[in-house]
Chains A and B, each alone.
Chain A
Amino acid sequence: MANKPVYNIPIGPIHPALKEPILFTFDIQGEVIKGVDFAPGKTHRAIEWMGMRRNPVQITHLCDRICGICGVSHTLAFSRAVEQIAEIEVPERAHYVRTIIAEFERIQSHLLWAGVAAHELGFDTLFHLAWRVREEAMDVIEYLTGNRVNYGIVQVGGVRRDFTDDQFPRIRQALDTYEGLVGKLVTLFLEDTSIKLRCMSTGVLTETDALELCTVGPTARASGLKLDVRADSPYAAYGDVGVTPVLPDVYSDGIHGDVYDRIVVRLFEVVESIRIVRECMDQMPAGPVLWETKYAKILATCKKAEGEAIGRVEAPRGECFHYVRMNRSEAPEAWKVKASTYSNQMSWLKILQGEQIADIPIIVASIDPCMSCTDRVSVIRDGRPDVMTGEALHRLSVEKTRRLQA
């Protein structure tokens, strides 16, 4: 066993086991991973560069497009930063609208992840089931905002749409559906023998490592770190309804920090989200939802603003961080976006060490990575990489179709 040679195996950037482009390099001895390294940046879209050439009202729509799943988190974090700089007072009702949408986003994101995790384990029936259950949350989001992705609901100074009272029964119906399903999901995911065998004591991240590697969100909480922006620095309506960070000991015996614990945290966060939405609907005050309906006035206020602020939001995957500095000009002087995966990626180096090849997909997926879609591709010709543009690829594809048709 000890005499087996160590092989260096690259996996990615595009690989059937990974849903998003990232390059992993593994040193493998037999079946065991001896060393790990990864190279992100296959999807860098320079959104910050684009943002620094636009005004804050335009940037909120750019923020929507940073991620297709956390549509509201990035916009909310950016808006909060701008509101702090320009000292814009957001109406109370808008805080509640923001909270309800953010929580529905968490439900759909966690169920999406549950499906992906089941698929990575080779349990495709469960994957289809989880995604069918997720549709209900998507339908509610579409019913409330008009869109399934890129909701475009959060605006600097409030939200763009109000909820009417006749919309509440539909929300309650969706919450009731999920409440009835929680027991079923727990049975399917947490009491399943094969999932237990595959996930327990796999990809363990200790509490100290979780803190020192700056992990966030469910990844950190599964290791026992009580880290939740909604509870620690309450924003929107979270201060009113109160949030208890979900730790894995609500279901499993003790905190192990393994893949199983990450499933527990995400499933029981759905329960917490249901409670938060219910309380928000009960406490929701009446009133306007936008600080100022004329965009020209919002723009003028932002243009006069000077200073710097940070906006932090608990996205489904963890802390989403925006830093904005404005300097009495149309576009912000600086804008830094930190998505949740950015903080969690470092933990891969720890949790993949000493695991087996077959567990790579589920361990990689267990932090719920989000690297977005690819924007360019490298073609290796004569041993050297050659970057191809989308246009060239399209032309190549057209030529191949013609060849096949001939």
Chain B
Amino acid sequence: MTRQALSAEQVAEQLQKTGPKSISDVRTKEWSEGLKKTPVASIWLRTTPDGLPATIQAVIDIDYPHFSVASGIDTGDAVELLYHMQVFHGMPGAEVNITISVPVPKKNLVVPTISHLIPGAVYTEREKQEMLGVTVAGIPDPRGLFLPADFPKGVYPWRKDETGITEDLVKSLYASGRPEDRPAPPVKPKEKKVKKSEAPDGEKTAAEKAAPAADDASPAPDAPDTPDAGTPEVNTNGE
């Protein structure tokens, strides 16, 4: 297998020639760092959900890519999925980053799977399904990935509309999805710390003022030696 590196412009040209008609808005960018300013090229292009597998196939025809990940953004009336991959890896300095952007309209949130072309993509497709509520048609493994099993249904953490995370979910996430027909965990309510000076019994407070060291509420033997009578009790509480 002989692989030959092409420049970013050549790759972009070939993708437009051999890829589906849906490819549009092809841009090439370059960025360089260091003293020698070694350039790194990237291609950004746009396609439709239907044209996605054909676009990936066109990339594979050039060189089998290393597929990084797919990211997703809620852009209002559509969910934009971005498939990031690199071709010509293993050839020093010749690598070209390709980002395929696929806006999926919210009316029909379905995108075809690419896992028959790149098997490793199923992992990130599972994440997109549960985080963005996008249906990946033909996904071999439709289970969730990161969210707990009792996460509320119909809530997609990365969405910015009404199906996204709400304020009350942020404040008390532990309570979400918790069944109500069950007793509360056996956790004792926190004991209120009673400070000597704030004790409700006025008589005791007066007695304390007279002789704080002789308080029988503090069982610690070294209590008479410590000037602050409140400290030993805090220690026994373990808080």
| Chain A residues in the interface with B (C-beta under 8 A) | 40-41, 44, 46, 48-49, 80, 84, 90, 92, 95, 211-216, 225-227, 231-240, 242-243, 245, 283, 285, 308-310, 312, 319, 321, 323, 325, 333-334, 336, 338, 342-343, 345-346, 376, 378-379, 381-382, 384-389, 392, 395-396, 398-399, 401-402, 405
The count of chain B contact residues (Cβ–Cβ below 8 Å) is 62
Task: Name the residue of chain A whose CB is nearest to the CB of B33.
Answer: A235
Q: Could you list some 21 contacts between A and B, CB below 8 A?
A: A41-B147, A49-B157, A90-B33, A95-B33, A211-B66, A214-B123, A227-B66, A227-B90, A232-B89, A232-B92, A233-B40, A233-B95, A234-B33, A234-B92, A235-B40, A240-B34, A285-B35, A321-B68, A334-B71, A388-B185, A399-B187
In the bound complex, residues from chain B placing their C-beta under 8 Å from that of A41 are 144-148
- The answer to whether residues A387 and B93 also contact, given A49-B157, A395-B188 and a CB cut-off of 8 A, is no
- The answer to whether residues A225 and B90 also contact, given A49-B157, A336-B69 and a CB cut-off of 8 A, is yes
Which stretch, B47-55, B114-122, B201-209, B221-229, touches the partner chain A?
B114-122
* Minimum Cβ distance to chain A for residue B113 (Å): 15
* Minimum Cβ distance to chain B for residue A353 (Å): 14
In the bound complex, residues from chain B placing their C-beta under 8 Å from that of A382 are 182
In the bound complex, residues from chain B placing their C-beta under 8 Å from that of A338 are 68-69
Which are the 8 A-B pairs with shortest beta-carbon distances? A239-B38, A226-B90, A214-B120, A336-B71, A41-B146, A232-B95, A338-B69, A213-B120
A330 to B40, CA, bound (A): 28
A261 to B239, CA, bound (A): 50
In the complex, per-residue mask of B3-42: 1 if CB is within 8 Å of any chain A CB, else 0:
0000000000000000000000000000111111110101
* Minimum Cβ distance to chain B for residue A73 (Å): 14
Are A387's CB and B174's CB within 8 A?
yes
Are B38's CB and A234's CB within 8 A?
yes
- The answer to whether residues A232 and B86 also contact, given A211-B64, A214-B67, A398-B239 and a CB cut-off of 8 A, is yes
Residue in B37, B66, B91, B144 with the greatest tally of chain A CB atoms within 10 Å = B66
Are B120's CB and A343's CB within 8 A?
yes
- The answer to whether residues A283 and B35 also contact, given A211-B64, A211-B66 and a CB cut-off of 8 A, is yes
Assess whether B162 is interfacial by the CB under 8 Å rule: no
A325 to B71, CA, bound (A): 11
In the bound complex, residues from chain B placing their C-beta under 8 Å from that of A389 are 174
In the complex, per-residue mask of B202-239: 1 if CB is within 8 Å of any chain A CB, else 0:
00000000000000000000000000000000001111
Are B31's CB and A386's CB within 8 A?
no
Task: Name the residue of chain B whose CB is nearest to the CB of A95.
Answer: B34
In the bound complex, residues from chain B placing their C-beta under 8 Å from that of A49 are 157-158, 165
In the bound complex, residues from chain A placing their C-beta under 8 Å from that of B34 are 92, 95, 234-240
Are A231's CB and B92's CB within 8 A?
yes
Assess whether B168 is interfacial by the CB under 8 Å rule: no
In the complex, per-residue mask of B121-133: 1 if CB is within 8 Å of any chain A CB, else 0:
1111000000000
Assess whether B150 is interfacial by the CB under 8 Å rule: yes
* Minimum Cβ distance to chain A for residue B29 (Å): 8
In the bound complex, residues from chain B placing their C-beta under 8 Å from that of A343 are 68-69, 120
In the bound complex, residues from chain A placing their C-beta under 8 Å from that of B93 are 231-234, 239
In the bound complex, residues from chain A placing their C-beta under 8 Å from that of B182 are 381-382, 384, 386
Are B69's CB and A321's CB within 8 A?
yes
Are A237's CB and B35's CB within 8 A?
yes
Interface residues of B, dominant DSSP: loop
* Minimum Cβ distance to chain A for residue B173 (Å): 8
Task: Name the residue of chain B whose CB is nearest to the CB of A41.
Answer: B146
A226 to B88, CA, bound (A): 10
In the bound complex, residues from chain A placing their C-beta under 8 Å from that of B68 are 214, 312, 319, 321, 338, 343
* Minimum Cβ distance to chain B for residue A191 (Å): 30
Task: Name the residue of chain B whose CB is nearest to the CB of A324.
Answer: B71
Task: Name the residue of chain B whose CB is nearest to the CB of A323.
Answer: B71
In the bound complex, residues from chain A placing their C-beta under 8 Å from that of B157 are 46, 49
Given contacts A227-B89, A227-B90, A237-B33, 14 further A-B contacts (CB under 8 A): A92-B35, A95-B34, A226-B90, A231-B93, A232-B92, A233-B97, A283-B35, A319-B68, A323-B71, A325-B73, A343-B120, A387-B178, A395-B187, A396-B187
Are B71's CB and A392's CB within 8 A?
no
Contact residues of B between 163 and 195, Cβ < 8 Å to A: 165, 174, 177-179, 182, 185, 187-188, 190
Q: Which residue from A233, A379, A401 sits with its C-beta under 8 Å from B238?
A: A401
In the bound complex, residues from chain B placing their C-beta under 8 Å from that of A376 are 148, 174
In the bound complex, residues from chain B placing their C-beta under 8 Å from that of A225 are 89-90
A41 to B147, CA, bound (A): 6
- The answer to whether residues A212 and B82 also contact, given A92-B34, A232-B92, A385-B150 and a CB cut-off of 8 A, is no
In the bound complex, residues from chain A placing their C-beta under 8 Å from that of B149 are 385
Task: Name the residue of chain B whose CB is nearest to the CB of A384.
Answer: B179
Task: Name the residue of chain A whose CB is nearest to the CB of B188.
Answer: A399
Are B188's CB and A214's CB within 8 A?
no
Are B90's CB and A239's CB within 8 A?
no
In the bound complex, residues from chain A placing their C-beta under 8 Å from that of B64 are 211
Assess whether B196 is interfacial by the CB under 8 Å rule: no
In the bound complex, residues from chain B placing their C-beta under 8 Å from that of A285 are 35
A36 to B93, CA, bound (A): 38
In the complex, per-residue mask of B82-102: 1 if CB is within 8 Å of any chain A CB, else 0:
101010111111110101000
* Minimum Cβ distance to chain B for residue A281 (Å): 14
* Minimum Cβ distance to chain A for residue B14 (Å): 20
A405 to B121, CA, bound (A): 54
A239 to B39, CA, bound (A): 9
